[in-house]
Each structure stands twice: as structure tokens, then as C-alpha cells.
Structure 1
Amino acid sequence: MEQMNVEEKKMNAANRPLFIGFLLVVLLLLVSVALTSLLVHRSQTSQVRTKEPTLRERFPGYFRYPAEQEAFEKLGRPSTPMTSFPNVTRSTVSQQCSALLPSPTAANTQSEESLHHACCITTTTFPSPDYLEDVLGVNRTIAVFRDQIGFEAKQFIRKESCTQPNGCDFCNCSTTTTYVTLVWQSGLEYGVSWFAVDGCCKCFNV
């Protein structure tokens, strides 16, 4: 009996290292699984972050690089024929207007355009304001998109100024108001508001 107990103790002592080794293997396996899960989670989180839309993607059509703005300003603005009135003759109006319009000068800069409405002259520019007051009277910071390289894409508005030549006394030249939407920024918050800007110059009969 004592001999059997001694042999059993010897067997337990011999198996103890194997049991400890088994526990270590299981522990290492669990650690490996935990680390793998953590790396996969970080990788998926990183992919989600890289797929977050940029400011240009969130607000398409608002931001343009200089080359895009240059191409935009070259787009034509076809006019729509208006209904003529029988009590107004072409000769009486055209003679007065042609005498008052300035003689042709050098071409305007690319960001400036002059159009005529009767005797009134509209000069068009495309500024990109940093700050602008919206229709609710709130002074907004106009958002600017910066890509990873550092190039800026800004928001441009079509702004027009009105000129009435001397002697143009058969009408009043007045700038109409038009409304545009722009993306504003306040810290990390972005939004879109309406802004009033000067529109084209119109000749109103007096």
C-alpha cells in the first residue's frame, strides 16, 4: 500500500510540469486572441475614420479651387428674349443708350465682367469673403476647405455693382438683391445659411 502511494506521488510530480505547461499554452492562446481582436478593432476604426466624408464631400458644389473657379467664370450666361412693348421704339432707346455708353476699353480682368442693361452698367466680380452677415443678422465665418497637401478651396459669390452714366436720365439704375447659400464654420460646427448680395444692375423707367 505504501509502495502504491509512493508511485502515485511520483506520477503526480512527473505530471505537474506538463499541467503547468498546458496552462501556459492556454494563457498564451487567450492573450494572442485578445491582441488579435484589438488589432482588428483598431484597423476597422481606422478604416471608418478614413472613409469619413471631407468638407467638400459633405457640401458638394460649394468649394472650388482657383482653377475650378477660373473655369466657372468662363461659363456663359445666355439671355432670355423679353416681350417687346409697342409704345417703345428701338430707335429712341438705342440712340439714347448708344450715346451714353462708354467707348470700348481694354478687356476686363478675368474675374471682372461688364454688362449693359439700357444705360446702366453692371460690373461683375467673384470675391471669396472671409466673413459675411447672413439674412438673420448673424456675422458668419465663411468656411474654407484645406486638403491634405494644404491647397485651399474657397467659396465664391457672384457680386455685381451698378453704374449710371452721366446723362442717363430716362431711367434709374439700381442693383437688385439676390440671395445665395454659403457654408459657415463655428469651431468644429458647420452649417448653411442664406446671404444677401448685390445682384445685377437694372434700368427702371422714371
Structure 2
Amino acid sequence: MRERCANTWVCLAITFIGTSIALVGIICWREFILNDKETDARITRENLIKYYPTIYGIYKTNISYEQILLKGANRLTPTTQYFNPNTNCSFDCLPNGGKRISEPDYNRASVYNHACCQSTQVFTTPQFFQNINGVVREILQFNDSKLMIIMPQIFFQEECRQAKHCTGCICHYIDQATSAVVYKPGYTSATAIYISQLEIDIFYLHGCCKCINLIKRAP
């Protein structure tokens, strides 16, 4: 009887050890092998949308990303808030036509004249750009020539110019931070194959063109 009980406990112990080893093996497989397969997903249209939905999700629709950016840039919303300046505000910017630049001027070419500044809306799809730390990064501009699928990362910027002989203000760019998918260090568009070889980085782009008033100091 004792021998049978001992054999039973031995069998239970062996079963428990075998089950534990199997569970550990399954956990390791899920944590390492399965994760490696997910991490090593190839750079494709579907995987870019899956792993970077905020950047590439627009390509699931029929909406043009350029149209969204342009529509937002063309939405001019007049302010409803005012303040009382200490002096009268005016600009002596008279172009050849005799029209003050400070008056609203908008046309189909997306050219804005405001105070001493003239700004133009532009769209760019750069291959290389300098991040906020001054490091040049290669931006992923997906182009599958075999399947004829192009998914560029498009950025909206403004070109800002100052009117000559206009002394009311100085034109400045207001830098705007934006994120983009780039290749990790050590990889390029010619060598990167997997999603794990990509990452997100942050860049400063030329945003809105602002006319900053000059501070006149008393003599």
C-alpha cells in the first residue's frame, strides 16, 4: 500500500514538473518568439497603418492629406478680442498699386499680405530633415514600386518674406513641432526592411509667419 502511494506521489510530482516546464515554454514562446515575429513585421502599407495610425491612418480613406492641410490653413477666423494700445497702430507699407499691405489680401495662389509680411503656403515631402536636437534624420517616404503604392509624409509650412522699406514690424517664423516616422540609426531606405527598424522623431518646421512689432525706445 505504501509503495502504491509513493508511486502515486512520484507520478503527481513528475506531472506537475512537466506541466510547469510546458507553461514556462509557452510563456517564453509568447514573450520572445511571438514578439519577435510581431516586431519584425515588414514595412508595408498595412503595417505602417497598424503601427503608426496617427500618421498613416489617413491613407485608409479617400481623403487627400494635402486637402486637409490646405483647408485648415485657409480657414481664417477673425479674432473677437481687442485691447487698447498706448499709441495708434498703423503701417506705412504702400506697394506699387498704392494699396496698403496691412489690408487683407488673399488669392487662389494662397498668398497672404499682412502688415509688413507676405506669406505663401507650401507642402513638402523631405527625405532628410533636422530634428529638434540638430541631428539630420532620414524620413520614411514609403514607395512600393511593385504594388504602385505611395504613402508620403507631407508637411505644411509657410514661406515668409518681408516688404522692403517697411519699418512697422519684423517678419518672423513661428516654429511648430511635428512628429514623423524615421529610420533608426544604422538603417536607411536602402537597408531597412522591418517595422522594428523605424521610430518616431520630433522636428521643428516653419509655421505661421508673424509680424512682430518693433519696440521704439525713447531718445
TM-score (norm 1): 0.60
1:71 aligns with 2:67: yes
Q: CA deviation at 1:78?
A: 4.3
* CA gap 1:82/1:105 in 2 versus in 1, 3 angstroms: closer
**Match 2:207 to one of 192, 199, 204:** 199
User: Do 1:100 and 1:167's aligned partners in 2 also have CA atoms closer than 8 Å?
Assistant: no
Q: Unaligned stretches of 5+ in structure 1?
A: 1-44
Distance 2:104 2:175 in 1: 28
User: Do 1:171 and 1:203's aligned partners in 2 also have CA atoms closer than 8 Å?
Assistant: yes
1:151 aligns with 2:159: no
* CA gap 1:94/1:133 in 2 versus in 1, 3 angstroms: closer
Which residue is equivalent to 1:14? none
Which residue is equivalent to 2:4? none
Q: Unaligned stretches of 5+ in structure 2?
A: 1-36, 215-219
Which residue is equivalent to 1:56? 49
Structure 1, residues 124-182: CA drift from partner, whole Å, max 9, x if none? 11100011111122221111234572221110111112111123211111111111100
Distance 2:91 2:212 in 1: 16
* CA gap 1:142/1:70 in 2 versus in 1, 3 angstroms: same
What is the letter of the counterpart of residue 131 of structure 1?
F
* CA gap 1:81/1:105 in 2 versus in 1, 3 angstroms: closer
* CA gap 1:61/1:116 in 2 versus in 1, 3 angstroms: farther
1:177 aligns with 2:175: yes
Distance 2:111 2:65 in 1: 18
Question: Percent identity over the alignment?
Answer: 24
**How does 1:1-206 map onto structure 2 within 5 Å?**
54-63=47-56, 68-76=64-72, 77-79=75-77, 81=79, 83-87=81-85, 93=90, 96=93, 98-100=99-101, 107-108=108-109, 113-146=110-143, 149-185=147-183, 186=187, 187=192, 188=194, 189-206=197-214
Distance 1:107 1:62 in 2: 28
User: Do 2:177 and 2:203's aligned partners in 1 also have CA atoms closer than 8 Å?
Assistant: yes
* CA gap 1:101/1:87 in 2 versus in 1, 3 angstroms: closer
What is the letter of the counterpart of residue 81 of structure 2?
T
Q: Which has the higher helix share?
A: 1
Distance 1:204 1:163 in 2: 13
What is the letter of the counterpart of residue 124 of structure 1?
Q
The SS at the match of 1:71 is helix
RMSD, aligned CA: 3.6
Distance 2:143 2:68 in 1: 20
TM-score (norm 2): 0.57
User: Do 2:124 and 2:157's aligned partners in 1 also have CA atoms closer than 8 Å?
Assistant: yes
